[in-house]
Amino acid sequence: MTIDLKTTPVLQELIDDLETKICNLTTELAMMEGEKAKYGARYLVYGLEKQLDILESVLERVEAQQELIDLKQNSISLN
């Protein structure tokens, strides 16, 4: 029996959720781009693109925050 003593990153669940949402929106956007001929689809595509931009920005900030948390934990364990 092996026991994993590694701690999971504090923000990992949030990171996973953001990545899933980005993947889903990317898929939805790809499907919408094929329907540009429909009335109003251009605005929907624009909205999805903006949502993706925001989610990607949030994901970058959360990952950076997780890195800081990891560095602090490593610093504490070295002392």
Instruction: Please state, in angstroms and rounded to a whole number, the distance separating the CA atoms of residues 50 and 62.
Output: 18
The pLDDT tens digits of the residues spanning 3-23 come to 666 667 789 999 999 999 999
Indicate the domain borders of the chain. Answer: 12-78
Distance (Å, rounded) from C-alpha 71 to C-alpha 59?
18
Q: What is the pLDDT of residues 13-68, one digit of tens each?
A: 999 999 999 999 999 888 877 665 566 677 888 899 999 999 999 999 999 999 99
